[in-house]
Structure formats: structure tokens, C-alpha cells
Structure 1
């Protein structure tokens, strides 16, 4: 049996065995590509711009104490002048995101992030709504998708010579059977080049051994990170600490006016104030992290796991790139559009492939 026939059988067996699951994962992933835009609408991020300063952190804390006292206030994300301030709150078993008016501290929207159709869509992509078992299934479907995609590319290439121009575009006036074949063969060719990157990055998340090998090769395991800590004060400085939070967010949001700034509220006595400066037009690798003593407000220096973007380790650079590549964010909006279209096509490939296999069987041709 020739290598080409072996690849054809591999392509067919994997496609028939995992096709439905791959379609579900690909389709849900395609739809979830637009999570930032959808979240802005359904979680009511939009606010009317006003010519007044943003409210301090303490105003946000007071708002949530009255509106949602059971929530453990964790972080506040200050964005642009037409966006709400987003507050993260922990509750046993789940977490909430609150959208607060940056000019009045009025609560606009409160969302349990483990509820709602957008969260279900995310979990459908990650674990087929089946929890840990589903997560393992998705990981293995992702792994099997790699040889299926690569074998499809090999099969697309003609047995002899170079591909003719007919291999690159679809003729819509042909018979339904030929059209179905072209939708599978030609669209699959274009989408596979993008899907391979989505699959490989999915494997990085899905299998710990991939991360472990990456850490070993990059030297990450040899790095000893420090933990940013505050010098514990013996006096009660609650009011001073609040003022430090307010002054820091004001300083950073003013200094980095074109960026988003997230401030973390310390809970442990020795915990530092954590500020993240996020450029919304760039990926995870562009995020800068800063730390300040919760009692004095003084900056804390050191070699931290999350530090300045230009000091990230090789592994952390790879880890950030994996996230951005998987979602297409590494190329901005055009990249997300490409991932969206490729994933939509990917979701259709098992369907068109099954129809093609079924039609061959009806014609009496042995395919497996």
C-alpha cells in the first residue's frame, strides 16, 4: 500500500471518528473569537463620555459593599473614557464582573461569569460542557486533528506535477456532488494553514508535557522568581492604604492614558499592590506589571514572574504568543477574522467530508 493510500485511510478514520466533536469545537471557537465585542454589548461596557475625572478605587469599593456585599473585591480595570470600570469579585464557587460608571461609581451591570450563554459557549469550546472529562476529550480531539489536517494537505497535492489553477478556486455552477467535493478540498486547503496554528497552540494548553518540555528547553526551570511583598506595619493604616490605592490608580491611569490599568486590592498583610498596564491594541506580551508596598506606596523592585514586558522570560514570551496566536489576536482584528473564517470552514470539513465518503459508498466504491 502506497504512502498516499495510508494517509487517505488515516484522514478518513480520524475524520469519521472525531468529525462531529471537531465540528463542535471549531464552531464554538469561531463564535467565541468575537467575545470582546459581544461582552461589550451584553455586559454593558459602553458609557457616555464626560469631562470629569474617574472615581477613585474607594468609591468602587463602597458601591460594591452596598450593592453586592457578599462579593470579595479583587481588582478594578480602568479603561478609556467611553468604557465602564470593570471590577472582579470572588464568591465561593464562582466569580463576578461588575461594570461601574467611571464618573459616578454607579453599578451598571453585575454578571456571574459561570452563567450566561457566552460562558456556556466558552465551556462548549473547552470541555463540551462535560467538565473535566470533556476537557480531556477536547484535548485528544485536538491532538488527532493535527495528523488529519496534515494528511489533508498532502492529499490535496496532485499525484503528479504541480497543482493546476482549478485546485485553488471553487466553481459554483458544477453538480452538487462536485461542489461538495470542492468545498471540502479547496476551502480545506486554505483553512488548514491557519487551523494548524490553532491546533498546535491548543496542544500547548491541553497537555502539560508540552509545557514541561518548553520550560526545560527554554531554561524556565532554572529561574528563581521572587514574590513582591509589603513590609508589614504594626499600626492600623486602613485609611492611609485606601489613599495609596486612590493615588496609584490616578497616577498610572494618567501616565498611561492610552492604556488600560488594572489594580489589585491586597488581601494578605504582606501582599503588594499589583498594577497591570495593558495596551488594548497589543497582546499579552505587551502587558507591564508593577508592584507597590501597600503601606508606603513605594515601588517594589525584583525579578518577578509577572514583570515588565521587555524582561519576560523566553517561556513566558512563548506562553503569551500561544494565547494570542490561538485567538488570532497576534495580528489584531485581521488575525481574529482569519481565525474566525478558518474555524468556520474547519467546522464544515467533517460534514462535507462525510457527504463525500457517503456518496462514494453509494456508488459502490470501497473507501475503508
Structure 2
């Protein structure tokens, strides 16, 4: 068999693999692409459509975390507050989140006056519903997440096989691989759309897909960390606890959160980012503070943990610790969500991610149309031979 014949045979089987993988995962890819488009500008849409989130900066003292928590507790009784978030120009958010029993609420409070602006059940929130579909297909996470992440893995294989199929045989053919022939018949336009736009978005959507796999597959996240760190093991996030040893009985020291919060405020009064404070729920819990200078992304946040009884800082070994201690591999893990939504490159990155997701959603549709068209051609050719 000649080399040319071998190459044709190889490309033929790659084409068959590409076809069947596409038919297998097409609906999921289309679904992920559409929901990804909806979520691309979630924050911008919320800021415009939910005015209770916005609050003009005032020359007044801020209410401390424990006081905001007490106010929110009255508005939402019998729930445990998870965190209190401050950000200039925004109302404070007291978040209530729990696994068993499951609930997720946000109480928006004016941090200057203590007025409750909104009690929001996030399980009824439009974007929250879309997120649950995008992550879990509205199924239990142990079922939905593996299904969608497996579909994402198949999509990565489709991108690779698609590049091989796209690769031109010669210079003459290469001229047709970079532009869509819009004045041609619709089948040719559809073919060009699938191949040309598929080629262009591959270099963007591959990062969105791989970052999705990091969130969905622990083995993949560990592998990425292992490679990027030069052979180190990814330390999973673990709760930090206050020291209760040597004391017969300790009472919950919630006011310690106010002291730590005040030290942050006093040390940087002109800070324009967000400050997230976790008030301890029991005597063993630590106080977590996350200071993020860039509210458009998450990876730059500085996470610190304190003993509620001694106010001594607790050092951690996982990725979500002090930013200055983060290695390159740690930062890659931190950036993962921002890469996934395009926020890592600002508004331009979100626009690019939106367009790439939109084209990705169309790929299974244009691919099926190509497949149907080829089948019709084969049937017509077979009928012509019989005649």
C-alpha cells in the first residue's frame, strides 16, 4: 500500500471517529455552549437588573460583620450565615449556604444603616438555575457532573480530530480552509461554517473545555497540577479549625471576626475590592477572610485564616491560602474558573468566550447537516448506478 493510500485510510477512520463522537456528545455540547453563552455576562446583567445590589459610597462608618449577621438573621431566621461580603459601591451580602438541609440565600444589607434591601432565595434565581444545568444537568451532582464532564472530554477529542480533518493536503486546498464562501449554495456555506469557524474557535474553546474538565474530574485536576508543578501533589481544600485544646470549655467568640475585619479596614481604608469575612459558627471554627483586589476575577484573592480564640493566624497548605505563597501551579488552579468564563482577559475575554461558546453550540448542528447531506448524496449515487 502506498503512503498516499495509508494517509487516506488514516483520515477516513479519523473522520468516522469524529462522526460517531459528535453524534454521541452533540446534544450535550450544544447544551453546554448555549448555557455558557447565557452565563457569560451574568454579573453585568445582574448589576443592571437587580438595583438592590448597588449602593452609593457614603462617608459613614461601616457596620461590623457580626452586626450585619444579626440583622440578616432576623430577616432569615433558623439559618446559619456562611459569610459577609463588603465591597464599595455594593450592598453588603450575608450569604447563607448549607448542604444538609440544603439551602442557599443571600440577604442584601445596607452596610451603613443596617436596612435589609433584599432577601433572595438563590435556588429560585434564573442564573443559579442555569448554572445548576451547566454544571450538573439539574441532576444530583454525583450523576450530572460526570455525564457533562465526560461529554466535555469527548468534545476535546472532537476538537483534536477536527483539526486533523481540517488540515489541508496542499497549498491550493489551504486557501479554502480559512474563509467561508458566503455566495455559495447553503450546503457549502454550512460545510465552510463548520470547518472554518471550527478551526478558529478551537484555539479558544480548548481552554474553556479543559478548565471545565479540571472542575469536573478530580483525576484531571490532579494531573494538571502534577505536570505544572513539576511532580507535586495537589493538596485538597480542608477546613481550618481554632485550637480548643487545654481549655475545659470555650464559648463562641464571634466578636473576634469584628476585630480582624477592623484591622483589615484600618490598614487599607481606600481599598476598592471585596472583603469576605466568615464569622465562626461554633467554638471550633476558624475565621476566614478573603481580600480580593479585583472583583472581576477570583484568582487574585488573598485567603487567610485565624483562630477565633487567640486571633493567631493559621497557616494552610492548600491552593486557597495567601496569594504571595502561591506557586505557578497554585495560580493555574486559582485561575481556572476565570479562564473558563473568559474573565481572565477582562470584558474582551468574556466577549470572546461568549462567541466561542455560541459557535461551539452550533458545531453539532452544522455537523449533523453535513452528515445528512452526504447520506443523501450516497443514496442518489446508488440510485443512479442502479438505473
| Alignment TM-score, normalising by the size of structure 1 | 0.88
Residue 268 of structure 1 and its aligned partner are, at CA, apart by: 2.6
Task: Name the counterpart of 1:64.
Answer: 72
Task: Give 1:300's aligned residue.
Answer: 313
Unaligned 5+ residue runs, structure 2?
Answer: 1-7, 381-387
**Conservation of the 8 A alpha-carbon contact between 1:123 and 1:129:** yes
Q: Alignment partner of 1:130: what SS? A: coil
Q: CA deviation at 1:141?
A: 0.8
Distance 2:131 2:239 in 1: 33
SS at match of 1:48: coil
The worse-fitting range, judged by mean Cα deviation, of 123-132 and 92-101 is: 123-132
Aligned to 1:50: 58
Please say if 1:19 is aligned against 2:26.
yes
Are the aligned partners of 1:283 and 1:320 in contact in 2 as well (CA < 8 Å)?
no
Aligned to 2:117: 108
> In the alignment, which residue of structure 2 is the partner of 1:179?
189
Hey, what does 1:248 align to over in structure 2? Answer: 260
1:337-352 matched pairs, under 5 angstroms = 337-352=351-366
**Of 29, 32, 48, which residue of structure 1 is paired with 2:36?**
29
Q: Are 1:310 and 2:324 counterparts?
A: yes
- Unpaired segments ≥5 residues, structure 1: none
2:233 to 203, 209, 220: 220
Residue equivalent to 1:262 = 276
For residues 85 and 287 of structure 1, the distance between their equivalents in structure 2, rounded to whole angstroms, comes to: 18
Question: Is residue 206 from structure 1 mapped to residue 216 from structure 2 by the alignment?
Answer: yes
- Cα distance in 2, alignment partners of residues 27 and 224 from structure 1: 31
Task: Give the drift of 1:139.
Answer: 1.6
Q: 1:187 to 1:214 in 2, by over 3 A?
A: closer
Q: Deviations over 1:190-223 (max 9, x none)?
A: 1111111112222222222223434555423689
Calculate the aligned-residue CA RMSD, in Å. 2.9
Asked if 1 retains the 8 angstrom alpha-carbon contact of 2:307 and 2:314, the reply is no
Give the Å deviation of 1:361.
Answer: 1.7
Give the deviation of 1:161 after TM superposition: 2.9
TM-score between both structures, scaled by the size of structure 2: 0.84
Deviation at 1:344, TM superposition (A): 0.5
Structure 1 counterpart of 2:106: 97
**Match of 1:84?**
91
Residue 168 of structure 1 aligns to a residue whose secondary structure is coil
Q: CA deviation at 1:342?
A: 0.4
Question: For 1:15-49, what per-residue CA distance to the aligned partner results, in whole angstroms no more than 9, with x for missing partners?
Answer: 12221221001111122122222333455311233
Shift of 1:111: 2.0
The Cα offsets for residues 281-336 of structure 1, whole Å up to 9 and x where unpaired, read as: 5644321122333235x341534433211212555333213222222222222222
The 2-side partners of 1:93 and 1:14 are apart by 37
Question: Offset at 1:357?
Answer: 1.6
Residue of structure 2 in register with 1:130 after alignment: 139
Rounded to whole Å, the distance in 2 between the matches of 1:206 and 1:151 is 22
Counterpart residue number, 2:154: 144
Alignment of 1:194 with 2:204, yes or no, is: yes
For 1:162 and 1:211, how far apart are their aligned partners in 2?
42
> Which moved further from structure 2: 260-269 or 90-99?
90-99
Question: Corresponding residue for 2:343?
Answer: 329
User: 1:269 aligns to what SS in structure 2?
Assistant: coil
State how far apart, in whole Å, the 2-side matches of 1:225 and 1:50 are.
38
Question: Against the structure 1 CA distance between its residues 224 and 322, is the aligned structure 2 distance closer, same or farther, given a 3 Å change threshold?
Answer: closer
SS at match of 2:106: strand
